[in-house]
Amino acid sequence: MTMMEALDPDLPTGDSPAGRWQAVTASERGAAHRAAGLPNQDAVEVRPLGGGMVAAVADGHGHSRHFRSARGARLAVSIACQATADLAARPGGLPTAPEDLRRHLVPDIVTRWRDGVHRDVAAEPFTGAEDAVRRRDDVTIPYGTTLLVAIGMGERLLLAQIGDGDIVCIRPDGSALLAVPGDPLLDGRHTTSLCSPRAGDSFRVAAVDLTGTAVLGALLATDGYGNAQVAQVWESVVTAELAGPITTRPLSWMASQLQAQAGQCASVDGSADDTTLALLVAPAAAQDGPAAPVPPAGG
């Protein structure tokens, strides 16, 4: 469980966290993976952007072809956060339109991830047993992973996603806003992936202008969370439960609740799958409370 708030250099030390983007994360290894002796193949990372915040969640594929997917997921979230921070630091900063997000950030993430995979393999070559599984697969296939990214900066919320999982925006009235377009290629058994040859084309992107569309925050979740929900249209049920506490409870309380939910969903009574969550909280929703510790990057 981690908590982080965006540090704004223009605010005096000791100022309330209200006015800053904040984030909480949680991750739990699935009961099925525990029973099989497999690691948590999800990953999560959040990083401040100087008044803003980026959150990234990834779900490494469970198929035997993707035997290094846990490493692929860790690479994905780290690279997504770094690429976002680098783009935010350039003249002009972060884009405001989805097409600009696709043009500038998405290709950078894909290229860096593929390069990162090649560096990882160079540092630790595939074993004979791994090569027997890989056969003729591209070197990136064993590292296959999804990726969900949410960037909060001022009155902008930028979203990008490849593969399954969910990004659910929370409206003040408790209703859900599903800003990211759906993917007709997702059928519950197959997913698009960073290891796909044309991964950049499979990203879905969206931008929410908070001056015209009020949201309290965005919940990023791997499919272990959605698959554990009882309601068929579960998004509105979850946002209704989160909207009140986001505006009335301190970040530390939200973090404990998120961890409890991840644990329940990852259990045998839930999906039994790895479950990872990141809740990006908008400035207007931030509440005073115990100061959130700033942990090392990563979930």
> Which residues have CB under 8 Å from 103's CB, separation 6+?
95
3-state secondary structure of 150: strand
Name which of 216, 299, 291, 218 is nearest 250 in CA terms. 291
Name which of 259, 268, 208, 258 is nearest 238 in CA terms. 258
3-state secondary structure of 13: coil
Distance CA 230, CA 237 (A): 10
Question: Over its length of 299 residues, how does the chain's per-residue pLDDT go in tens digits?
Answer: 444 444 333 333 333 455 789 999 999 999 999 999 999 999 999 999 987 999 999 999 989 999 999 999 999 999 999 999 999 999 988 988 999 999 999 999 999 999 999 999 999 999 999 999 999 999 999 999 999 999 999 999 999 999 999 999 999 999 999 999 998 878 667 889 999 999 999 999 999 999 999 999 999 999 999 999 999 899 999 999 999 999 999 999 999 999 999 999 999 999 999 999 999 999 988 654 433 433 333 33
DSSP H or E stretch at residue 80: helix 69-89
Torsion sign across C-alpha atoms 116, 223, 100, 9 = negative
Burial class (CB in 10 A: 0-12, 13-18, 19+), 164: buried
Partner residues linked to 205 by β-bridges: 160
DSSP 99-133: HHHHHHHHHHHHHHHHHHHHHHHHHSPPPHHHHHH
What local confidence, expressed as pLDDT, does residue 229 receive? 96
DSSP H or E stretch at residue 247: helix 234-248
Structure tokens at 245: 């506490």
How far are the Cα atoms of 38, 181, 193, 231 from residue 42, in angstroms, in the given order? 12, 22, 14, 24
Distance of CA 243 to the CA centre of its chain: 19
Distance CA 243, CA 167 (A): 15
Distance CA 112, CA 120 (A): 12
What local confidence, expressed as pLDDT, does residue 295 receive? 38
What local confidence, expressed as pLDDT, does residue 287 receive? 52
What local confidence, expressed as pLDDT, does residue 62 receive? 87
